[in-house]
Amino acid sequence: MNIGELLANTLSPDARLRAEATRQLEVISRDHWTAYMHMLSQELVNEQAPSHIRSASGLALKNSLTSKEKHRQEEYNQKWFSLEQSLKQQIKSNAFLALASQDGKAGQAAAQFIAAIAAIELPINQWPELMVNLVQNVSEGQNSNLKQASLQAIGYICETVDSENLAAQSNAILTAVVQGARKEELNSSVRFAAVSALFDSLEFVKENFEREGERNYIMQVVCEATQSEDVRVQITAFGCLVRIMQLYYDKMRFYMEKALFGLTVLGMKHNDEKVALQAVEFWSTVCEEEIDVSLEIQEALENGVSSERKNFQFAKIALPEVLPVLLQLMCKQDEDVDEDEWNVSMAAGTCVQLFSQCVEGLIVGPVLTFVEANIRSDDWKRREAGVMALGSILEGPDPKLLETLMQEALPVLISMMSDPVIQVQDTTAWTLGRITDLVINAISLEIHLPSLIHALLNGLNANPRIVSNCCWALMNLFEQLNGNSYRSKQQVSIMSPYFENSVSSLLRVTEQTINENNSRTSAYEALSTMVTYSSMDMIPIVSRLLIVILERLEQTIAFQSQIIGIDERTNHEKHQSNLCNTLTSIIRRLGSDMRSSSDRIMTILLQLIQNASRHSIIHEDVFLAISALTSVLDGYFCVYLDSFVPFLYSALSNIEEYQLCSIAVGLIGDISRALGDKVIPYCDNFMTHLLQNLQSSVLHPNVKPVILSCFGDIALAIGSNFIKYLEVVMQLLQQASTIYSTPDQGYEMIDYVNQLREGIVEAYVGIVQALKEEKKSNPLLPYIQHIFRFLAVIHNVHDKSESLTRAMIGLLGDFAEIFPRNQISSMLQVEWVNECLKQGRTKPGYSSSTKEVARWSTEQIKAVINGK
């Protein structure tokens, strides 16, 4: 059987035939990869083969070279490099030949495959002629199919290859895609491919956007494309405008005045909803950018520096024209549409929310006029739009203004929870959730609260989509109104009269066997929040709830062997996850009272881990419950440790599930804090796993800051016993401290380096305090100068977190306290130390705990400098 027949069989309606063909292809791919790639390449270029077979071969080729998993992608790269050069060249040539095929699907598949090769070769400066040839196909070719497929290839390459590796080709790429995107291009499919490729290339043509002439031409071509007769071109062109606004807001003032304002307002009124969606998205993006610019300007002012950004207030200027269109679009609901399907009504509502955050109080008047005209309409769509509009302006305007308005609106909204139309009920519940979240002071405890809770509890018996919003509103009420009572450990709280009835109503929701619209999960989340913020008089009810949750967990364990099918297993595990999360909240609330139930709880939790598959979602939630238990049991938790550590080590070794691994690392810290020096017998194994993970090239980077911080927890727990690990840990901390970020590396890298530095400082704090207690400073002497150099670097970082600043300042105080004056005095008498201490004492917005640490450290350092 040849490769074409196997590919055909993978698409067969016969499940047996399909499975066997897939198995055979996997065997060939695994055992004869070179032949597999060659045969697929031949099938892709075979003009006699059916279209769907050629397309399948191209997809198989692409999948043979691409993976979202980093280590798997590296394997594919090495396999590709291992092919003989002549065969690689033939495969590439076949792919290029397929671009010119009259079979458009084959051409598109070839374009995807070419992009997959490019992602491997371009970063190491191979295949230099690739972009030249593709651009030539577009600019010189007469074959429309070739031009279209080549443009698709350029787009895919721009989408998948790092922009740095394409910067040198940006002029040629831009020339090709802009030429294809012009209104003079008569073939609409070619123009669509060109505009799509332009969208994918926008991020790396920054230099071109800096040059006014080139920028003007690009903007002209995109604006003209929004007026194309081909709807596909229009949609993609508006998508380009959205992306351009994201990337080049600072360059958009001229174009907003001349064209974009009018084009996008017309676009929002377009008969085709997909065009209207993109036009609405444009204004959402304008608002998002201006919100970000305002925050940047505000942050610069707080730090005493001038901002390079300017807010052009496009949203404010456009509000009188854009808002009425958005409000009318909110009336275009489709009662038959899937509630999860994004539509123009939802998009308009989201856009109004963003306008509200952006222009603040200016939006209130026109929206209220719309609400008053529609909220009592006989047309349910206008009623629902009125409620949606009201809920959409609750973030941004002055809360005092909103409080007065919402006090008047609440009786109407509460009554609308009984509206005969589900969509109106759902939006009303959402709006009540927004009020309880953002304008809680509008709710009169005597006038509104009883009827509001009654309406929300009734809503728990309604359609599942309404249940989720009712749960959210209840969560907000308990958190906002009970927060102070919980923190001050008051005996009775505002929400005490409603607690028991709310728990009973939510438990009824959680009894359902399915989780439609996430309603069961929402009910469990509401229970968890209520438990967290319960006052002391509610503790007996929380204790009874604990029994219910434990019984349900035991029932799920007993039922596990009867599960059939993936969907049923997923639903079952999600239910167990919800139960574990609720249990975690109960454990934290009941505190040391949990000891009488801890044996039963640990038995259940260990059974859950034991029964779960390696990749089950339940592991993380079980570990979080155990983390809570360690915190409330303190040293008593040691009786469970021998039974638990095998599962802990397994999670630490499961580096593919990095979030679980991170939780496991945090759990070592929890255990160390809870057990103190009782953890010493386990520390060698803990440290071995942590050090191995820290040096792993496969483990997700986000776990590593958590590991560094964990070293500090272990040190604090075992004191001078940590000296045996000191040399290797300090070397690793020094290595980690050499990692820097630059502004052009993006927020993710900057955030990662900040987390890494925070982990390093927390490790130093734990180690120094551990040895301080033992009065053993000498082992730290070889590292002290490096630590100070590292702290000086961090001090000069503009956007470090308050917690990092506090940890640094505390560490300086610890050094002053632990080291003799002759060893430390000169290091403490440098300008950056004074600046750091002053910042901790005086910076606006810093918490009292940070200021207290700064005052203490200042006193310690003064004592050293003055020789006291």
Contact present, 170 and 131 (Cβ < 8 Å): no
Q: Could you tell me if residue 182 is left (phi over 0), alpha (psi between -120 and 50 degrees) or otherwise beta? A: beta
Please state, in angstroms and rounded to a whole number, the distance separating the CA atoms of residues 503 and 585: 14
Closest CA to 829 of 816, 848, 810, 811: 816
What amino acid occupies position 670? Answer: D
Q: What percent of the chain shows pLDDT beyond 70?
A: 97
In the block, tokens 């998009």 appear at 347
Contact present, 784 and 819 (Cβ < 8 Å): yes
Q: What is the pLDDT of residues 535-567, one digit of tens each?
A: 999 999 999 999 999 999 999 999 887 888 888
Task: Look at residue 143 in the predicted model and tell me its pLDDT.
Answer: 86
Q: What is the pLDDT of residues 249-301, one digit of tens each?
A: 999 999 998 899 999 999 999 999 999 999 999 999 999 999 999 998 888 78
Please state, in angstroms and rounded to a whole number, the distance separating the CA atoms of residues 20 and 10: 8
Closest CA to 45 of 34, 56, 35, 54: 54
Q: What is the pLDDT of residues 334-362, one digit of tens each?
A: 776 666 678 999 999 999 999 999 999 99
pLDDT of 683 over the 60 cut = yes
Contact present, 391 and 434 (Cβ < 8 Å): yes
* pLDDT, mean over the chain: 91
Closest CA to 190 of 143, 235, 137, 147: 147
Please state, in angstroms and rounded to a whole number, the distance separating the CA atoms of residues 507 and 504: 5
Task: Look at residue 307 in the predicted model and tell me its pLDDT.
Answer: 79
Task: Look at residue 236 in the predicted model and tell me its pLDDT.
Answer: 96
Opening angle at CA 855, ends 853 and 856, nearest 5? 65
pLDDT of 631 over the 90 cut = yes
What amino acid occupies position 235? Answer: I
Please state, in angstroms and rounded to a whole number, the distance separating the CA atoms of residues 388 and 635: 52
pTM of the predicted protein model: 0.85
Contact present, 197 and 161 (Cβ < 8 Å): no
- Estimate the crossing angle of helix 831-842 against helix 784-795, to 10 degrees: 50
Task: Look at residue 743 in the predicted model and tell me its pLDDT.
Answer: 63
What amino acid occupies position 537? Answer: D
Task: Look at residue 12 in the predicted model and tell me its pLDDT.
Answer: 79
- Higher-confidence position of 498 and 569: 498
Q: What is the pLDDT of residues 16-36, one digit of tens each?
A: 888 888 888 888 888 888 988
Please state, in angstroms and rounded to a whole number, the distance separating the CA atoms of residues 729 and 666: 17
Cα–Cα distances in angstroms (integers) from residue 143 to residues 53, 194, 245, 342, in the given order: 23, 15, 34, 38
SS3 state of residue 444: coil
Please state, in angstroms and rounded to a whole number, the distance separating the CA atoms of residues 252 and 317: 14
Q: What is the pLDDT of residues 292-347, one digit of tens each?
A: 999 988 887 876 777 788 999 999 999 999 999 999 999 998 776 666 678 999 99
First CA to last CA across the chain, in angstroms? 90
In the block, tokens 């809870």 appear at 674
Closest CA to 355 of 411, 388, 313: 313
- H or E segment and range at residue 281: helix 273-302
Task: Look at residue 745 in the predicted model and tell me its pLDDT.
Answer: 64
Number of helices (H), then strands (E), belonging to the chain: the values are 42, 0
Task: Look at residue 283 in the predicted model and tell me its pLDDT.
Answer: 98
Question: 10 Å Cβ neighbour count for 365?
Answer: 9
pLDDT of 485 over the 80 cut = no
Q: What is the pLDDT of residues 158-211, one digit of tens each?
A: 888 887 777 777 888 888 899 889 998 889 999 999 999 999 999 888 888 999
- For residue 28 the two structure tokens come to 């060939």
Contact present, 811 and 761 (Cβ < 8 Å): yes
Q: What is the pLDDT of residues 90-129, one digit of tens each?
A: 999 999 999 999 999 999 999 999 999 999 998 888 998 8
Please state, in angstroms and rounded to a whole number, the distance separating the CA atoms of residues 762 and 388: 46
- Estimate the crossing angle of helix 703-718 against helix 747-773, to 10 degrees: 10
Cα–Cα distances in angstroms (integers) from residue 402 to residues 324, 368, 558, 657, in the given order: 21, 11, 52, 45
Q: What percent of the chain shows pLDDT beyond 90?
A: 67
Backbone torsions φ then ψ of 166, nearest 5 degrees: -115, -5
Q: Length of the chain in residues, anyone?
A: 868
- H or E segment and range at residue 786: helix 784-795
Task: Look at residue 825 in the predicted model and tell me its pLDDT.
Answer: 84
Please state, in angstroms and rounded to a whole number, the distance separating the CA atoms of residues 228 and 188: 9
